[in-house]
Amino acid sequence: MSQAAAERDAVERHFARSIPALRTVTPEAPYDDGEPGPTTAAGGQRARPEQGPDPAAAVRAGSSLTGARCLELFDAQLASRHLDLAARWLRSRNEGFYTIGSSGHEGNAALAAALRPSDPALLHYRSCAFYLARAAQATPPRDGVGDVLLGLAAAAAEPIAGGRHKVLGHADLNVIPTTSTIASHLPRAVGLAFSVGRAGRLGLAAPWPGDAIVLASVGDASVNHSTAAGALNTAAYCAYQRLPMPLLVVCEDNGLGISVRTPPGWVAAAASGRPGLRYFHADGCDLADVYDTALAAAEWVRRHRSPAFLHLSMVRLGGHAGADPETAYRAPAEIAADLAADPLIGTARLLIDAGLLSPGEVLDRYEASRARVLDRAAKLAGAPRLVSAAQVMAPLAPRSPEAVASGAAGAAEEKARRAAFGDRLPESGGPFTLAQAINATLTDALAARPGMLVFGEDVARKGGVYGVTKGLLAAFGAGRVFDTVLDEQSILGLALGAGLAGLLPVPEIQYLAYLHNAADQLRGEAATLPFFSQGSYRNPMVVRIAGYAYQGFGGHFHNDNSVAALRDIPGLILASPARPDDAAAMLRTCLAAAEADGSMCVFLEPIALYHTRDLLAAGDGGWRVAYDPPDRWASGHVPVGRGRTHGDGTDLTIVTFGNGLWLSLRAADRLAADGIGCRVLDLRWLAPLPAGDILREAAATGRVLIADETRRTGGVSEAVLAVLADGGFEGRAARVTSEDSFVPLGDAAAAVLLSQPAIEAAARSLAR
Ligand SMILES: Cc1ncc(C[n+]2csc(CCOP(=O)(O)OP(=O)(O)O)c2C)c(N)n1
Ligand SMILES: [Mg+2]
């Protein structure tokens, strides 16, 4: 017998033995499960009272859980258990691909009953019973068992991820799918709790009622993850300032993270007594206790709009996953103790003690559930799966260029613009620097889009480290422009939740070097949500990041030029404007793409060019540009992934972006004086790259010099060379880049960064 089959057998035998043994239960003498019991109704020896008990009465004195509800939840618990068994059975036939189960955690069904079906939930992967219980609450009830089975089989018909992963989620059930990255959904949950009432307060249609609370569940080992620690801190930090934070974090504590023991008492010690975070505890194997405690916790969160931590003591049955030999790291007595605490036995005991079911009827119910689930599972054989890359990738990056173009051209009414700009419209002001152009564009966008929020470190009162967000707080108020806690994971989490709640978040990351500690919130969370929900859920956002080098001070942390971590995130749009006019148009494009397609955009602003005024000579004003009035936004629209060519020289094409554009245009001017005619292609978008523009401009001269301020290894120039190779470019290509180094402090920075003389020298040798 395979190990999986043996374990399955052990659980089955345990259940079959335990239930009939309940007939001997008295509060004083726990049941004896030494003898195998019968598996049919004949096993029921404790007769039910003549006068059947009232299902509307409490299942146990003092509990709010009625017998009827307990029965419903028991059915969810039973089906969840059988889905775990079915998962292993399907796996053994190579028809299922996922065996992390919920056995031992089925008490979470009571969470669903304690919440409203309209409360959004982001669930731990052991929350199958919750999902089934919530599916049963829907009108008409959803076929939760079918959903989960399709997920196990990676079937294309699975309703949320469409065969891309086995997740728990459905838009009709307000269950937002989570990834398997431990705790990574908590920053989003905090952001959603922060935003859930805000959309309504801003007068916008909101996906969830204003008094909804957000449920996020995690395991006990997960509570230690820095992502969880940061999210809990941010939730408490908001509550401490009396900001609404209706968040219920549930810890399903089975005492183990795969094989690693959580020190006994640790979760309670770590989560209780924290300022701003109310702690509740329940025995997760006792359905009535979970229900009563969850009701109290949910009520507290809803009434106070303040976060709570609900700690459920649970057991884990059947190992971490199907292939996990837990006997290798757990003593038999420990495993047996978990089996003895089986929450299904606990609920059976509740129902039997209440006279609602006899032990035999419990077994019948168990067997009927097994038959239903296995029958469904057997019918799944051959359910079509995704087969082509196109099918798999369909939800990754929806793009509707026409909607984006029209969205980008939309402005607020003149009256609202005047109010926002303080009567002096930017188009009648002087030519703008990059920082001024971004500031005016943000102002215009906030005036036109009531759901847009601007937030980050120092963006509000100070107006940004470089003044880019100056005046926005005064014009739009703290409800829409605000400073955040100093935690990039939380800033992005806020964006993830706000986008989900129907708002348009524009978070700022103060420096590119400080994105990296939080990048998984973009990679693992933002970019995967449409993928694993087939677009049912989306998290539009435009993340502004001040970045790149050449600041002349600050060393690495203020001069980071690493964009590789962003370029390979599927679906992510990476904008890299250099000139003020491009920045304005590209920011409008990003905002419109976020709105129209739910796009996740990163808008990488070159700090060194923020206040640059001149290009070729002091006082020439070559880097300042007039601000376009709204009636020119349509004609000036910059589509995603389109570059811009400066000049029409025929000797050499310089491909560049960011600070490289400024350096290259200066170099081109010097080269022209020596008779070398250059055209300079500004990529403008680093993802997706303007491949067509690159190939066209390369073919125009036959010689390409890539001037790339990012690193030689992993930098943008590698991708441009790949575009040239893929496109069959037959001319010559060379590149000048920054070194594979961090940027040092002071003048030494110049030693490792791309420079104008380096561009000129390479250009001369290529043009020769
Ligand atoms: C960030 C991250 N690191 C590692 C893993 C691999 N992993 C998957 S589950 C798990 C243990 C989680 O334990 P716990 O939070 O207690 O949940 P349980 O499985 O016990 O319910 C680990 C380490 C992961 N999914 N995510
Ligand atoms: Mg655990």
Residue 26 has pLDDT above 90, yes or no: no
Query: Can you read off the two tokens belonging to residue 430?
Result: 């002087």
Q: Identify the band that residue 47 occupies on the pLDDT scale cut at 50, 70 and 90.
A: very low
647: left (phi over 0), alpha (psi -120 to 50) or beta: left
The reported pLDDT for the residue numbered 578 is: 98
Band of residue 175 on the pLDDT scale cut at 50, 70, 90: very high
Query: Mean pLDDT over residues 674-685, rounded?
Result: 98
From the candidates 558, 611, 637, 646, which is the catalytic residue? 558
pLDDT number for residue 552 = 83
User: Cβ–Cβ contacts within 10 Å for residue 402, how many?
Assistant: 9
Mutate to test the pocket of ligand 1, among 182, 262, 521 (most ligand atoms within 8 A of CB): 182
Q: How far is CA 132 from CA 106, 177, 687, 734, in A?
A: 10, 14, 40, 59
Contact 235, 182 (CB under 8 A): no
**CA–CA separation, 529 vs 537, rounded Å?**
7
What phi and psi values does residue 542 have, to the nearest 5 degrees?
-125, 105
| Cis amide prior to 688 (ω within 30 degrees) | yes
C-alpha span between 148 and 210 (Å, rounded) = 30
What is the pTM assigned to this prediction?
Answer: 0.94
Mean pLDDT for 291-295 is 98
- Measured at the CA of 208, the angle between CA 205 and CA 213, to 5 degrees, comes to 145
Closest ligand 1 atom to residue 222 Cα is: 15
Q: Please, which residues have CB within 8 angstroms of residue 185's CB and are 6 or more apart in sequence?
A: 122, 176, 178, 179, 216, 525
pLDDT at 10 over 90: no
pLDDT at residue 80 tops 90: yes
Which residues neighbour 244 within 8 Å (Cβ) at sequence distance 6 or greater?
193, 194, 197, 198, 238, 305
Extended strands (E) in 135-237: 214-219
- For 432, half-sphere exposure in the C-beta direction (CA atoms, 13 angstrom radius) is 24
Q: How far apart are CA 189 and CA 701, in angstroms?
A: 52
CA 728 to CA 554: how far, in whole Å? Answer: 42
- Ligand 1 atom with least separation from CA of 225: 1
d(CA 288, CA 31): 20
Give tens-digit pLDDT for 454-502. Answer: 999 999 999 999 999 999 999 999 999 999 999 999 999 999 999 999 9
Of ligand 1's listed atoms, the one at least distance from the Cα of 254 is 20
601-632 residues labelled b (16+ CB within 10 A) or e (exposed):
bbbbbbbbbbebeebeeeeeebbbbebbebee
Among 126, 181, 222, which residue has the most ligand 1 atoms within 8 Å of its CB, making it the best to mutate?
222
Is 637 known to be catalytic? no
Tokens of 244: 């609404």
What residues contact residue 282 under an 8 Å CB cut-off, 6+ apart?
289, 290, 292, 293, 294, 310, 311, 312, 313
Q: How many residues does the chain have?
A: 768
Centre of ligand 2 to C-alpha 478, Å, is 40
Q: What mean pLDDT comes out for the span 637-643?
A: 98
Gap from CA of 192 to ligand 2 centroid (Å): 25
Atom of ligand 1 nearest to the CA of 180: 25
- Nearest alpha-carbon partner for 311 in 388, 255, 243: 255
What residue's CA is closest to ligand 1, atom 13? 257
**Residue 323 confidence (pLDDT):** 86
**Mean pLDDT, rounded, of the chain:** 93
Residue 340 Cα to ligand 1 midpoint, Å, equals 24
Q: How far is CA 155 from CA 17, 377, 383, in A?
A: 35, 12, 6
Ligand 1 contact, 326 CB (< 6 A):
no
Using only C-alpha atoms, what is the Rg of the chain? 30
| pLDDT for the residue numbered 1 | 55
Instruction: Tell me the three state secondary structure of residue 251.
Output: strand
Please, which pLDDT band fits residue 554 given cuts at 50, 70 and 90?
confident
618-644 mean pLDDT: 98
CB distance 185 to ligand 1 below 6 Å = no
Rounded CA-CA distance 473/459 in Å is 8
SS3 307: coil
Q: State residue 768's pLDDT score.
A: 85
Give the mean model confidence (pLDDT) for residues 558-577. 96
**pLDDT over threshold 80, residue 4:** no
